[in-house]
Structure 1
Amino acid sequence: MHVDLLLADAPAPIEVPAERVRAAMDPASVLVVLDDDPTGTQSVAGLPVLTRWEREDLDWAMAQDAPALYVLTNTRSLDQTAAEQRNREIVAVALDAAEARGRRVTFVSRSDSTLRGHFPLETDVLTEAIVARGHAAPHLVVLVPAFPDAGRITVDAVHHWVVDGEATPVGETPFAQDATFGFRSSDLRDWVAEKTGGRIAREAVHSLALTTIRRGPEAVADELRTLPAGTVVAVDVVDEHDMRAVAIALHELDREGLGALLRVGPPYPRAHIGQEVPDVVRPEDLDLRAERGGLVVVGSHVPLTTAQLAALREARPATATIELDARSMIDERREAHLDAQARAVADAIEAGTVIVHTSRELITGADGDASLDIARRVSSGIVELVARVLELAPPRFVIAKGGITSSDVASEALRIRRAQVVGPMLPGIVSLWQPEAGPAVGIPYIVFAGNVGDTDSLAAVVQTLAGDDDPAAG
């Protein structure tokens, strides 16, 4: 269905200035975003991000006095037991650090805008962990998976993926076939029932529709205020102003003691803190090393990433391209293969930017857990390669494509423990970090989700950072 037809009966958009959201906020509050892969930072700027959650790390992040901070949990790459443990650990440390700083925490479980991830596990665990620390249970669990910048919108509780003006219910897209987190339902009410195994019935999920949202924050607050404790709310969103109207209402309810636990896609935290849509980062905003080329690492296997990789190679035929064979990284050939390819990358990067990608064959296991294990082993191979390249020939910049890939490259290969989110490389998508400590200081790190952008987006980001640094270019 064309998006214009989908929205034909929707109320007219409203304008909600970002400053109105900021005025509604409690200045002592801080949004702690538990990000299940690092791509959640792509919609914000000027905020601290952590890949570790020791007390000293949370103390550092809280000391920035930012309205929000991100903790990279990477739980989308973990099994349920490990994901649960990690969420509990972070809640405990974050609450201690916030109390020491005199701040109040609102927790955000940031996950995929195409509905992949550990739900309801993570919202259940966060609620339990909050209550275990003596705090009141969140009154509402609010679902805002929309990501308008990337074409993900929710209308009448049905979540859509919009490409070239055509809106497809997300349950009919390749993302719904995910080997680990697959699903059938596009209507968020049905999706909650599906994911909870019927524990939460469709009828118990409240749909917060555009008809309410576009009457303004007061109407939203009035509607939400009537809901029973523990209600899951599925939120319609088509644009930034829809999210801001919801944010103001939630701030109002929070002042009344009716707090919310948020399960959201990338842009909602920006709306919740009243941050303007950030400007795109320009090359002149960065201090790029000139002595070597950059490193582009592509691990994601979603069809969009494969198309973007093909477009990048077509746009830059002289750029060195090295393939990591996925099957060789999960058997006895692993060490020899990684050693040879790391040396090849280090040699090539002396002359210009290098593209490293995993073979495009998607290897799956017998079930979701087995498939996740294979994905982790392949991702750990990418990490080992990047770590070796960092020692042999530190690149001018690093771009990591894919959620698990970008998380592991950041925390394990580049050992980025703390960073500042500079801003997006493309409007609303693709995050650039500046590492604050460790061996990657001075190397801009670009986090590029597997499922965002158009076919030419990866090539555009590489061109922005690398220019024509191919040895045969020009």
Structure 2
Amino acid sequence: MDAYYTIKDIHYVADSDWLVPAEDTEFARDASFGYKSSNLLGEEKTRGRIPASSVSSISINLLRKGGPDAAELRGKSFLCRTAASFVSTRIGIIPKAPILPKDLGINKERKGGLIVVGSYVPKTTKLVEELKLQCGHFLKKLEVSVDKLAMKSLEEREEEINRVAEMANLSLGACKDTLIMTSRELITGKSL
């Protein structure tokens, strides 16, 4: 799993022994959520509507000494550009161990987990390939055509959804672990 760091308002992704500016990663080139700047004070997300000079940065020292309240007491509203773990940390959710079948009242002999993968980025594709390598012999693999979902007629879209849903239901009903993944090619709409 990647580790993320923000140092003097620049967002980095740890890659082995290196810190890579976020703008130099595959995530920055994502067709839907991409970005050009690692600087968190940048004007990019507001398309210049809010100039970087009017954005304030809250230091880690202020947060360590006074917590989130120390920043919020200044009477400001905050937009936080962060990693996914921020939300649970901010609202105080205590991390839990992954849910086990017994926690859900599922019999140990029963199988049939569902794995859904939508991201097409190379890192996700690499994870899917590793999953197939390690578990492919007992994993039912179902690929959803992004082309049919996004670029074809409503009828073809519904047929594709129904096809995959029916196959997944059969597989899960037979107590097989099932992987549903989007096709790996990037398809962009007219707005991108």
- TM-score for the superposition, normalised by structure 1: 0.35
Q: Deviations over 1:88-107 (max 9, x none)?
A: xxxxxxxxxxxxxxxxxxxx
What SS class does the counterpart of residue 361 from structure 1 fall into? coil
**C-alpha displacement at 1:168, in angstroms?**
0.9
**Matching residue of 1:442:** none
Shift of 1:309: 0.8
- In the other structure, the counterpart of 2:7 is 155
Secondary structure of the structure 1 residue equivalent to 2:136: coil
Q: Which whole-Å deviations, capped at 9, do the CAs of 1:339-372 have from their partners, x for residues lacking one?
A: 333332222221311111111111112332xxxx
Query: Which of structures 1 and 2 has the larger relative contact order (alpha carbons within 8 angstroms, sep 6+)?
Result: 1
Question: Contact 1:176 / 1:182 at 8 angstroms: preserved in 2?
Answer: yes
Counterpart in 2 of 1:363? 187
Q: Secondary structure at the match of 1:168?
A: strand
- Residues 1:251 and 2:75 aligned together: no
Distance in 2 (alpha carbons) for counterparts of 1:323 and 1:272: 36
7, 12, 19: which one aligns with 1:167: 19
Distance in 1 between the 2:140 and 2:103 partners?
A: 24
Cα separation, 2, equivalents of 1:308 and 1:364: 23
Contact 1:179–1:367, Cα closer than 8 Å, also in 2: no
* Counterparts in 2 of 1:209 and 1:173: CA distance versus 1, 3 Å: same
Which among 92, 104, 125 is matched to residue 306 of structure 1? Answer: 125
Deviations 1:187-231 (A, max 9, x none): 222x2x233333433333334445xx1xxxxxx2xxxxxxxxxxx
Query: Whole-Å Cα distance in 2 between the matches of residues 250 and 338 of structure 1?
Result: 44
> Which of residues 21, 32, 52 is equivalent to 1:202?
52
Contact 1:250 1:259 in 2 (8 A): no
Residues 288-309 of structure 1, C-alpha deviation per residue, up to 9 Å, x if partnerless?
4345512112111122211111
Distance 1:341 1:263 in 2: 37
Contact 2:114 2:177 in 1 (8 A): yes
| d(CA) in 2 for partners of 1:285, 1:323 | 30
Alignment of 1:31-430 (within 5 A): 150-189=2-41, 191=42, 193-209=43-59, 213=61, 220=62, 245=64, 248-252=66-70, 254=72, 258-265=75-82, 266-276=84-94, 278-283=95-100, 286-290=103-107, 291-318=110-137, 319-329=139-149, 330-332=151-153, 333-349=156-172, 350-368=174-192
Q: 1:284 to 1:196 in 2, by over 3 A?
A: closer
RMSD: 2.8
Q: Amino acid of the residue matched to residue 64 of structure 2?
A: A
Give distance in 1, aligned partners of 2:160 and 2:128: 22
Deviations 1:275-319 (A, max 9, x none): 55x242252661243455121121111222111111111111221
Task: For residue 153 of structure 1, report the CA deviation from its aligned partner.
Answer: 1.0
The aligned length equals 184
Can you give the 5+ residue segments of structure 1 that lack an aligned partner in the other structure? 1-148, 214-219, 221-243, 369-474
Aligned mates of 2:93, 2:189 — CA distance in 1: 42
Name the TM-score, length of structure 2 as normaliser: 0.78
User: Among the aligned pairs, what percent are the same residue?
Assistant: 27
8 A contact 2:30–2:121 mirrored in 1? no
1:152–1:161 CA contact under 8 A, matched in 2: yes
One-letter amino acid matched to 2:85: P
Q: Any conservation in 2 of the 1:157–1:209 contact (CA below 8 Å)?
A: no
Q: CA deviation at 1:169?
A: 0.6
Q: In 2, Cα distance between the equivalents of 1:306 and 1:251?
A: 40
Secondary structure class of the residue paired with 1:159: strand
Whole-angstrom CA distance in 2 between matches of 1:282 and 1:338: 28
Q: Offset of 1:152 from its aligned partner?
A: 1.4
Query: What is the CA deviation profile of residues 10-46 of structure 1, one whole-angstrom value per residue up to 9, with x for unaligned ones?
Result: xxxxxxxxxxxxxxxxxxxxxxxxxxxxxxxxxxxxx
Looking at structure 1, the residues matched to 180 and 133 of structure 2 have their Cα atoms a distance apart, in angstroms, of 15
Residues 347 and 156 of structure 1: CA distance in aligned 2, closer, same or farther (over 3 Å): same
Q: Which runs of 5+ in 2 are unaligned?
A: none
